[in-house]
Amino acid sequence: MGFSDALGLRRLAGHAAFSFTGSLVMAALLLAGSGCAGAKRTTEWSSPMGKGPVSETHALEDYGAAKQLAQARRMVKGGQYSLAIPRLQQIVTQFPADAAGIEARHHLGVAYYMVGEYQQALDHFNQHLSMAPEGAFSAESREYVAKLTQQNAAPEEKKGESDRRIAELEAAFAAHPEDMSAGLELAALRWDRAEYPQAGEVYRNLLARWPGLEQDTLVRTRMAKEADGSWTVLDPVEAERRFRQAEPLRIFNVASFRSGRYSGWQAVAQQRDYNVSGQAVNVGDTPLQDVRVMVTIYGLGQLVYDTQTVALGALQPGEVRAFSVQFTRFDDINNIVRHECRGTFRR
């Protein structure tokens, strides 16, 4: 598929959501693990960027891999590629070899493809195929790989075509500033080429003429209206800063183990303690007060065995603090099927 075909797909998808660069996404994910789900795995937090100011008391919601994957899959299907990418990356990071992590690689490929990050897309499609060559999404992944291989054959030709199209659109939009479609396509092309200041200027012109565009799903992911009425460009750096500000508390490196059976005990003796440990980090730029981590263990059928809360106190920006809890309230340690963590704080 050539550049014009890819551009056509992006127009149909709503001009494509903004693309986090691969390095920024991975940098966020290295810090962003969260919570815990399953007997020995972590579950991750999820929160859409740009939801507005957080409350004085804030809780992190926790989801299992399947729930997160279903949510991200709906985002990809609905064209919310920029919001789906970090969630899918988190699933891959937390559950790399599980079915959810393997499937997430395919959806990451689709999301990156639709925002024009073709090398990232190709890498994830190939990873998915290497792990699930005969999986449910393998045929579709191979189709994308074929398209991307063809596209990568002539990068200079694609750039020349992009330059020509931008020149045409700039001339058309300058001559007819009331042509919204030309302006939106011009802004989308500039954004896809990481020309964020130029794209932002086009969006500002469009918003000044059509204020209702601020309700557009795509525009809201690329431009933020400030209290004084001005507009800020949500380029990858600014988007990442706001993302950290909205969700500064991250729980990561969560693990569980069983204890209570010591040397000399009978072979039939049961382990009597279920332990959960992890770390919390403040990735924001302001201190967090009264940080707490609540850990809950579950049995079959959503049965809650016990919940314990660890008070971590204040966390300064960048500060990491460990936590550990031990559970003994359950009927049988083998009936514990998962654990979850919830972090709270005050600003």
Residue-wise pLDDT for 258-271, tens only, equals 887 655 555 545 56
The residue with greater pLDDT, 345 or 44, is 345
Domain boundaries, the chain: 1-35+65-243, 248-346
Instruction: Give me the pLDDT at residue 266, please.
Output: 56
Interatomic CA distance for residues 206 and 336, integer angstroms: 56
CATH architecture of 248-346: Sandwich (2.60)
- Is the pLDDT reported for residue 252 higher than 60? yes
Task: Work out the end-to-end distance of the chain between its first and last CA atoms, rounded to an integer number of angstroms.
Answer: 50
The reported pTM is: 0.53
The residue with greater pLDDT, 281 or 301, is 281
Instruction: Give me the pLDDT at residue 64, please.
Output: 65
Cβ pair 92, 104 in contact under 8 A:
yes
Instruction: Give me the pLDDT at residue 168, please.
Output: 94
For all residues of the chain together, what is the average pLDDT? Answer: 78
Return the top range by mean pLDDT from 60-64, 82-86, 157-161.
82-86
Q: Regarding beta strands 223-225 and 62-63, do their DSSP bridges make them parallel or antiparallel, or are they unpaired?
A: unpaired
Which of 18-22, 107-111, 241-245 is predicted with the least confidence, judged by mean pLDDT?
18-22
DSSP 8-state assignment for residue 54? P
Which of 118-132, 143-157, 182-196, 211-225 is predicted with the least confidence, judged by mean pLDDT?
143-157
- Is the pLDDT reported for residue 94 higher than 50? yes
**Residue 92 backbone dihedrals phi, psi, to 5 degrees:** -65, -40
Which of 17-26, 73-82, 105-114, 147-156 is predicted with the least confidence, judged by mean pLDDT?
17-26
For residue 254, the one-letter residue type is V
Adjacent-strand bridge partners of 346:
57, 289
Tens of pLDDT, residue by residue over 95-135, are: 787 888 899 999 999 988 887 778 889 999 999 999 999 98
Q: Which of 240, 246, 244 is nearest to 318 (CA)?
A: 244
- Is the pLDDT reported for residue 62 higher than 80? no
A 10 A CB-CB count for 57 gives 10
Instruction: Give me the pLDDT at residue 276, please.
Output: 92
3-state DSSP assignment of residue 249:
strand
- What is the separation of C-alpha 164 from the centre of its chain, rounded to a whole number of angstroms? 34
Share of the chain above pLDDT 90, in %: 40
Does the domain made of 1-35+65-243 have the CATH classification 1.25.40.10? Answer: yes
- CB neighbour class for 145 (10 Å; exposed up to 12, middle 13-18, buried from 19): middle
Q: How confident is the model at residue 27 (pLDDT cuts 50, 70, 90)?
A: very low
- Is the pLDDT reported for residue 4 higher than 80? no
Instruction: Give me the pLDDT at residue 294, please.
Output: 95
Instruction: Give me the pLDDT at residue 95, please.
Output: 78
Cβ pair 282, 249 in contact under 8 A:
yes
Interatomic CA distance for residues 47 and 90, integer angstroms: 12
For residue 140, give both structure tokens.
């579709």
Instruction: Give me the pLDDT at residue 265, please.
Output: 55
Residue recorded with tokens 């209290």: 227
Interatomic CA distance for residues 112 and 99, integer angstroms: 20
Residue recorded with tokens 């190939």: 126
Q: Which of 188, 186, 190 is nearest to 169 (CA)?
A: 186
Q: Taking the alpha carbons of 211, 217, 223, 225 in that order, is the dihedral positive or negative?
A: positive
Q: How confident is the model at residue 54 (pLDDT cuts 50, 70, 90)?
A: very low
The residue with greater pLDDT, 270 or 223, is 223
Instruction: Give me the pLDDT at residue 117, please.
Output: 78
DSSP 8-state assignment for residue 227? T
Calculate helix-pair angle for 118-131, 99-114, nearest 10 degrees.
160
Interatomic CA distance for residues 239 and 34, integer angstroms: 20
Instruction: Give me the pLDDT at residue 286, please.
Output: 92
Q: Which of 255, 201, 253, 195 is nearest to 223 (CA)?
A: 201
Tens of pLDDT, residue by residue over 282-327, are: 988 899 999 999 999 999 888 999 999 999 999 999 999 999 999 9
| b/e sequence 204-241, b meaning 16+ C-beta within 10 Å | eebbeeeeebeebebbebbbbeeeeeebebbbbeebbe
